[in-house]
Amino acid sequence: MSILKKIENFREEEERLKWEGTFADYLDMLKEKPLVAQTAHSRVYNMIKDAGVEEVNGKKEYSFFKEQLYGVEESLEKLVEEYFHSAAKRLDVRKRILLLMGPVSGGKSTLVTMLKRGLEQYSRTDNGAVFAIKGCPMHEDPLHLIPNHLRKDFYEEYGIKIEGNLSPLNMMRVEEEYGGRIEDVIVERIFFSEDKRTGIGTFSPSDPKSQDIADLTGSIDFSTIAEYGSESDPRAYRFDGELNKANRGMMEFQEMLKCDEKFLWHLLSLTQEGNFKAGRFALISADELIVAHTNESEYKSFISNKKNEALHSRIIVMKVPYNLKVDEEERIYKKMIADSDLSHVHIAPHALRVAAIFTILTRLKEPTKQGVDLLKKMRLYNGESVEGFNSQDLAELKQEDPDEGMSGIDPRYVINRISSAIIRKQLTSINALDVLRSIKDGLSEHASISKEDRERYMDFIAVARKEYDTIAKKEVQKAFVYSYDESAKTLMDNYLDNVEAYCNKNKLRDPLTGEEMTPDEKLMRSIEEQIGISENAKKAFREEILIRISAYARKGKKFDYNSHERLREAIQKKLFADLKDIVKITTSTKTPDESQLKKVNEVIARLIDEHGYNSTSANELLRYVGSLLNR
């Protein structure tokens, strides 16, 4: 479909969604669908919930955030359940400003932008539909038309609570335009739009000396005073401040803690009472979610000032730390690169993973738990199995330091260093070593990194390099195995036959001669030793394998090469160990013979076809692994 056709379809959809009717018509709609009258906080919660919620390992994951925010599932669950869900139930937290606190480039702004864009889309759905008094600059809730003395009766009939009072402008309009007949007041459906300043506002403080409070609350239109005769006439007032325009939706308060005090005091009344003071009028009701964001140092400075105690008690602080999972960090880099002009550059497999390993190490706190180092902690956080540790150990590690993830290297720095390497060297292909080298060069230029941290980060680069060495050798050795999966399957079947005979105290039958043989202890040990299974532990390991096979059989599932993670690792290592000398000779020979050259070309072809390399990065990988094996 052409772009012009899509524009036409969008315009037609906009027309279809429009609705206009009297207040009486609106009340008929409410009887059928009370959800239409939901509060701003309830609308945000339902928007997130309607996008889909999945329970993974006892934790809730929200589809709404999945495509943009990675590795912060626990923080998001806390935000949605402890703030949005509670606020949607009209509990006291809805009377608080939501303050997102976290390090730079940690996802705070992305989260707020997602909420704003999400509300824009949600207001175009049936569940997220919003209705307002037509012609009201604040998109006022039509239910404010119900007089206070009738609200109890209204609740008994409709089951809907009404909060807030009619604004001065609409009070005057009801009398002058409708003769006091509230049932005739025209109501329309509105659609949230930050660009059109409907239901979504953004306030960013500027120079305290020049910024006017009118930016928040609106101002008098002096050109109309002669016409209307008084500054207290609501028609002479512009209800165009961010608090006015964000009514029914949300307002982002950027750099709130840097703001002048006079701006913050308006938030006290708005959060606690649901209204604010503007011009020479009574308090003006507003129903909106106020979201602010800041970093840790600014927040500590704010709460240390005794003058801010009243506002501090009206703030709910939600931490948004850095992601601490290597897999998710890699996804962040891939997304940032896909969104940039670097998407045409070939980034060799594992280059971003190695950068992610370095970055995550800078964010982790040194563990106090016995037997755990940073690398093991990193792997546990990433959901990898580490021998001798379980989910309980992981939970204990996460509780050791509540500030973990609030410091370290940010994703933007890594992407900037990758960009620097590509642009400076005019590269069209970049590998893990190029990335690590660029990260290392940039540390000396990073003004906010202390000398102590810089030295620590240099050590982490060395650790990431060692991790890459292991990955690179595995990658090449795997590519050297012809029909790798078939070889692995054959070796595993052979091992399992011997294990079964050993555990059942049976003999094996030679397929060629038919003679009986004792289980091949040498073969079994050569595989088990690859993953550190001791002589004393071999019997338990073999029995555990048989139990797993039996469990699979009961469920009607086939036990295969990928069914047991540790056995798979042992088989891989055994195959690689057998191939090591072949790899070493082939990759390091400066003048390979015809058979060696053929083998190298086969390996390069396999790295390109099956592992995601291009010819440049595949050749670089082979040369590097050759140098590693010859050390």
Whole-prediction pTM value? 0.82
pLDDT of 241? 87
Could you tell me the CA-to-CA distances from 542 to 23, 168, 500 in Å, in that order? 76, 81, 8
Residue 386 three-state SS: coil
8 Å CB contact between 20 and 134: yes
CA–CA dist 207, 259 (Å, integer):
9
- What secondary structure does DSSP assign to 160-181, as a single string? ----S---HHHHHHHHHHHTT-
pLDDT of 484? 63
CA–CA dist 377, 373 (Å, integer):
6
Separation of CA 498 from chain center: 47
pLDDT of 425? 65
Q: What is the pLDDT of residues 102-131, one digit of tens each?
A: 888 888 999 999 999 999 999 999 999 999
- What secondary structure does DSSP assign to 332-370, as a single string? HHHHHHHTSTTTTSEE-TTHHHHHHHHHHHHHSPPP-ST
Residues contacting 510, CB < 8 A, separation 6+: 516, 517
pLDDT of 584? 73
CA–CA dist 532, 538 (Å, integer):
10
Residue 472 is which amino acid? A
Spans of the chain, pLDDT less than 50: none
Find the length of the chain.
631
Residue 381 three-state SS: helix
8 Å CB contact between 429 and 346: yes
8 Å CB contact between 346 and 428: yes
Region of residue 362 (left: phi > 0; alpha: psi -120 to 50; beta: else): alpha
pLDDT of 303? 85
Strand partners, 22: 186
CA–CA dist 247, 395 (Å, integer):
41
The per-residue b/e assignment along 52-71, b for 16 or more CB within 10 angstroms, e otherwise, is eeeeeeeeebbebbeeebbb
Q: Which two tokens mark 45?
A: 């919660």
Q: What is the pLDDT of residues 275-289, one digit of tens each?
A: 888 877 888 889 999
Residue 275 three-state SS: strand
Q: What is the pLDDT of residues 446-504, one digit of tens each?
A: 777 888 889 999 999 999 999 999 999 888 887 877 656 677 888 888 899 999 999 98
Q: What's the CA angle centered on 327, arms 324 and 332, to 5 degrees?
A: 80
First to last CA, the chain: 59
State what percent of residues in the chain have pLDDT above 70.
97
CA–CA dist 457, 464 (Å, integer):
10
CA–CA dist 438, 446 (Å, integer):
12
pLDDT of 543? 92
pLDDT of 598? 81
Stated as kind and residue range, the H or E segment containing 318 is strand 315-319
CA–CA dist 99, 255 (Å, integer):
10
pLDDT of 208? 63
8 Å CB contact between 99 and 293: yes
8 Å CB contact between 415 and 340: yes
